[in-house]
Chains A and B, each alone.
Chain A
Amino acid sequence: MMSSNGLRDLRPEAGNWKHEIPRAAISRVFLLVMSLIYLSPMYWMFVTALKSNAELGSFPPTLWPHTWAWQNIVDATKNFPFLQYLWNTTFYAVFTVIGAVLSNFLIAYGFSRIKWPGRELLFYPVIASIFVFIEFPVNPITMIPVFTLFTKLNLVNSFVPLILPSFFGNPFFIFLLRQFMLQIPDELSEAARLDGANEWQIMTQIILPLTKPAIAVVALLAGVNAWKDFLGPLIYLHDDSLYTLSIGLEFFKTEHRIQFNLLMAASCLVILPLIIVFSLFQRFFIQGVTLGSGKPQN
């Protein structure tokens, strides 16, 4: 006998309600195991951060600090100018978001809301270039010539090479926004055009408000991406006053004999803003993935 959601029933005489409990229990166990696996790294990071030096080297490793070494957080910031790096990273993220939102919206608009000859043809390279720009803006395929270019322009050791590319579109975001905009009925734009509105007006007054959810997702993804960027700051930032949290943390790690508990404390500080952003905008992160696929969200 089969229950309605397809789980094979192991007890042939059982009534319907008895199936729900094992089903829910199995689900919960499964979920618990998965969450534990995914939670444990962060948990371990947090716990290690607050262990004292002595406890760090204890075996078997303690799962919970016996003494809470809150001092570690302070010590970590002694050699790790957290606020300076935080400011730099925020600066980088904010400008990346501005560039990403402005450019990708405009570009996606051009690719979806205006019909012009050659539009589809010109869009192929966008899709094709997604796999090159897996990491944005700096990736191993294009970084050498681009770095040389920026060196010749004397723009290395600044945020320009990192922020500038965001103002020229990111194929992934173009794709995402375009998918979303394609779902807005053509008639909306057409009607406005017939009413004599120019493209700019249509774009800003009609399409823009409707695209807000997708733009929010792009903003979030672009910002987080900039926050996490490592390779970019690694090759372009050389003054320690410019370092972002990513390379600041790596630099902290290579200090002569750095301790793991302090390193973990610093890592927690680095992740904390992201966790805060995530909890506030969780909906957007989770939605963002399904945006543009035209399927019902929840």
Chain B
Amino acid sequence: MNRALLLVVCCCLNNVGAFGQTQIKFWYGSSTDPREEKGYQQLVTEFNQRDPKVQIRIEKVPGTETDAAKLMTAVRSGAGPDVYLLDRFTVAQRAASGLLKDLGPYLKKEGKELSQDYLDFAWKEVIYADKVFGLPIGTDTRALFYNKKMLRDAGIDLADFDPAKGPMSPERFKEIAFKLNKTDASGAYTQLGFVPWLEQGWGYSWGYAFGGEFFDPAQNKVTPTNPGVVAGYDFLYNWAKDLGPEKARTFVDTYWQWPSVGTLPEEQEPFLTGKVAMLLTGQWQLPIIKKYTPNLEYGVTYIPAPNGLKSSWSGGWSLVIPQGAKNPDAAFQFIRFITGAQGQEELAKVSGMFPTLKSLAGRKDLFPPEYEFFLSLLPVAQSRPPLPVGALYWDKLKDAEEAVITNSKKSQDALQAVAAEVQPQLDHFKK
């Protein structure tokens, strides 16, 4: 027992460090893209070199976009980090639960007004109750990747995919995709043209593509039953129905097994191995393709949408300081460094993350040419509504998505259930 107490004491002392050295704990989740990780590591090394008295220590912790259980438990028990990489759209929710420190006082001390420095949508995401709880770091956009060779071999005219023509209609797109479905003797799928819910094919993607809105700020209501959103989910429902939901699920679980459980190695991703001909995902796919299948003949174009609506959405991360951080001042310095011009520029170069600083927007020189299409989507990209129930909303929308792609619930019903569950929680915050 003494040993255990000693261990605890050592951990506490760790934060103070030897010789008055301040150690800052920087946590990020295990689902962080490895290229981004490299960027952070690089920046941390640079920061550490500046001042030997302030050292950043990186720790990777279990966690995904909406699962911050590790962070919360740690903070609750006083063992939390000084800096955490938090998915930007959940900042409001975490702030509302009292998990994060208000950065206002630190900004005041510095005498800086940062709101104009960052892209509007990114800045809005880090605000809650008129207070700043994080600084935005990077962002991204999503588009449709297609395998030119596979499509050509199936006799598809690639001209349809030319971005200059704008987004394809969902009907035409489905027609094309289904031409590439192949089954084996037992009837199980061995190849599919497209699976709308893989990778970034979330309900959000299709909801936005079909012109939907997820939140009504005027009435402070979440709007999962908005016609556009329902249409997006119907798209998923019908696609699953026409593929056969169990067969589709088996295909995905065989070749993908994502997102909750372990997967096959990155190089065996279905788009890379030719198991699917098209994929809806973000610009981070580009370095993956470059690494594993550089000879893949692929193209990118708009996400299929009715009425030629060019749609996409942006996510991204932010850096926050949780409550109970032992060295908030030093932590703030670190955050400013990473989210500042130098940090974002480096991250862009190393990981392909798009900067959220207005000063760096339009800096095409930071990215190889293949990123251009994704950059062009930034102006039309939407972002997820920053709500104090953001993470809950996302999880419930995911549940609805699952119900719809297994055809166990109709879109309207599933989305109605989302509203019924999330709205009361949101109202809770109005009081």
Contact = CB atoms under 8 A, between A and B. Distances in A.
A57 B275 CA distance: 12
Nearest to A164: B1
A229 B71 CA distance: 21
Give the interface size class of chain B. Answer: 20 to 34
Contacts of A260: 262, 264
A109 B266 CA distance: 58
Contacts of B263: 257-259
Interface in B54-86: 59-62, 64, 70, 73-74, 76-80
Interface in A68-120: 91, 95
B8 interface: yes
B1 A53 contact: no
A53 B74 contact: no
A23 interface: no
B61 A151 contact: no
Nearest to B190: A59
Contacts of A127: none
Interface in A174-226: none
A95 B4 contact: yes
B262 A263 contact: yes
Nearest to B71: A238
A59 to B, nearest CB: 9
B30 A238 contact: no
Max count, chain A CB within 10 A of own CB: residue among B34, B61, B62: B62
Contact of A56 (B8, B76, B80, B265): B265
Contacts of A256: 30-34
Contacts of A247: 62
B262 A157 contact: no
Contacts of A239: 11, 59, 79
B78 A158 contact: no
A242 B3 CA distance: 13
B78 A157 contact: yes
Given A151-B77, A239-B79, A258 B61 contact: no
A155 interface: yes
Contacts of B61: 238, 240, 251
Contacts of A231: none
Contact of A163 (B4, B33, B62): B4
Contacts of A157: 8, 11, 74, 77-79
Interface of A: 53, 56-57, 91, 95, 150-151, 154-160, 163-164, 167, 235, 238-242, 247, 250-251, 253-260, 263
Which A-B residue pairs are the 6 nearest by beta carbons? Answer: A156-B77, A157-B79, A238-B74, A158-B8, A259-B265, A159-B4
19 contacts: A53-B267, A57-B273, A95-B3, A156-B76, A156-B78, A157-B8, A157-B79, A158-B5, A158-B11, A163-B1, A238-B70, A238-B74, A238-B79, A247-B62, A258-B262, A259-B263, A259-B265, A260-B262, A260-B264
